Amino acid sequence: MPGAIYAEGLVKTFGDVRALDGVDLDVPEGTVLGLLGPNGAGKTTTVRCLTTLLRPDSGSAVVAGIDVLKHPDAVRRSIGLSGQFAAVDEYLTGRENLQMVGQLYQMKAKAAKARAVELLDQFDLADAADRPTKTYSGGMRRRLDLAAALVVSPPVMFMDEPTTGLDPRNRQLLWEVIKRLVSGGTTLLLTTQYLEEADHLAHEIAVVDHGHVIAKGTSDQLKARTGGERVEVVVHEREHIQPASEVLRGFGKGDTTVEDHMRKLTVPVTGGAKLLAEVIRELDTRGIEIDDIGLRRPTLDDVFLSLTGHLAEAKDEENGKEAVK
């Protein structure tokens, strides 16, 4: 049985750019899927297709059990969308914004009013309820935007980079909100460029690049795929890079990567702490002075790097384009 969010072979082209090149997704009810990828990978386009904002050129999608292409209006009644920008009217107060959205979800005026009060309380905006949102901080606006997406407590939620541009405190706050939401049974599709965020919130992660899902799995599964632990050494002087790399070659289970400007060497290993001690002894014997050394397990950054050949937050010329659309 397909999940609460299901997509098969979504394709969308903008002129020459193939923004989506056959995206498949399946999100079981009550879980969070983290859609991870660099700018321009197709994350936003995927969300726009699933939320009826954009019609895919081909492929099919089912959200909350409803065919997105056949019954977009019924889908709209079952979803909440919180976008990259806080889409609230800056001249309206927080309360007025929520009431309006409630009424446009076809709630009666009175019910929309009551719901607005509830949400303002829950999102810690009660004190600012009657101020135009122009006066809100970035974090408050995001919270209001999220509240607007939750007016009807939709069973399926989409959040497109909900914490981009937020300071760490506000990001933490929003994470708490999202966790509570999901513990209540909501199915959530979340896009992010922050690997940490996906690691933190998502049950399953789909890595997208160039309009494809290139890998899928839990955070641990993806990390395991990337390989095991590695030793990372930062030498004190540039001249020591060469001898240090010879030492590491003796211990490593693969090629040593060198980041010259940081005087950093990394090599995959097996053997854990015991091996680390041996590496340190050997470097010491050869008189190589080190600033830092450690045993590292792969992060999602490593996963991303090994899957796509570039970092998640890297932006290149081509990728810049889609962000504008």
Partner 1 sequence: MSSLTDAVRVAPAANPVSQSVRDSIVVAKRNLIRMSRIPEMIIYGLIQPIMFVVLFTYVFGGSMQIGSSTSAVDYKNFLMAGIFAQTVTFATASSGAGIADDMHKGLIDRFRSLPMARGAVLTGRTFADLVQTALTLVVLAVVALLVGWRIGSDGSTNAGRVLGAFGLLLLLGYAFTWIGALIGMSVRTPEAATSSGLIWLFPVTFISNAFVDTSHMTPWLRHIAEWNPFSATVQACRVLFANPGQSPSDAWPMQHPVWASLIYSVLIIVIFRTLAVRKYRSATA
Judged by the rule CB under 8 A, the positions of this chain that interact with partner 1 are: 48, 51-55, 73-74, 76-79, 81, 83-92, 96, 100-101, 103-108, 111, 115, 118, 122, 132, 148, 150-153, 177, 180-181, 184-186, 325
State the nearest-atom distance from the C-beta of 1 to partner 1, in Å: 22
Sign of CA dihedral 224, 193, 120, 31: negative
CA 292, 296, 300: angle at the middle one, nearest 5?
A: 125
Whose Cβ is closer to partner 1: residue 25's or residue 150's? Answer: 150
Give the separation between CA 158 and CA 5, rounded to whole angstroms: 10
- Cα distances from 24 to residues 211, 266, 325, in angstroms, run 10, 35, 22
Whose Cβ is closer to partner 1: residue 71's or residue 297's? Answer: 71
Whose Cβ is closer to partner 1: residue 89's or residue 316's? Answer: 89
Give the separation between CA 221 and CA 15, rounded to whole angstroms: 36
Contacts (Cβ under 8 Å, ≥6 apart) of 252: 231, 267, 268, 269
Sheet holding 264-268, edge to edge: 257-259, 264-268, 230-235, 290-296
State the nearest-atom distance from the C-beta of 83 to partner 1, in Å: 5
State the nearest-atom distance from the C-beta of 184 to partner 1, in Å: 4
State the nearest-atom distance from the C-beta of 176 to partner 1, in Å: 9
Whose Cβ is closer to partner 1: residue 86's or residue 276's? Answer: 86
* Cβ atoms of 267 and 231 closer than 8 Å: yes
State the nearest-atom distance from the C-beta of 277 to partner 1, in Å: 48
Whose Cβ is closer to partner 1: residue 142's or residue 263's? Answer: 142
Q: Strand ranges (DSSP E) for the chain? A: 5-14, 17-27, 32-36, 58-63, 66-67, 79-82, 156-160, 187-192, 204-209, 212-217, 230-235, 257-259, 264-268, 290-296
Whose Cβ is closer to partner 1: residue 96's or residue 282's? Answer: 96
**Among the listed residues 18, 255, 293, 63, the one whose alpha carbon sits nearest the alpha carbon of residue 158:** 63
State the nearest-atom distance from the C-beta of 158 to partner 1, in Å: 8
CA 195, 196, 200: angle at the middle one, nearest 5?
A: 120
State the nearest-atom distance from the C-beta of 117 to partner 1, in Å: 12
Whose Cβ is closer to partner 1: residue 78's or residue 306's? Answer: 78
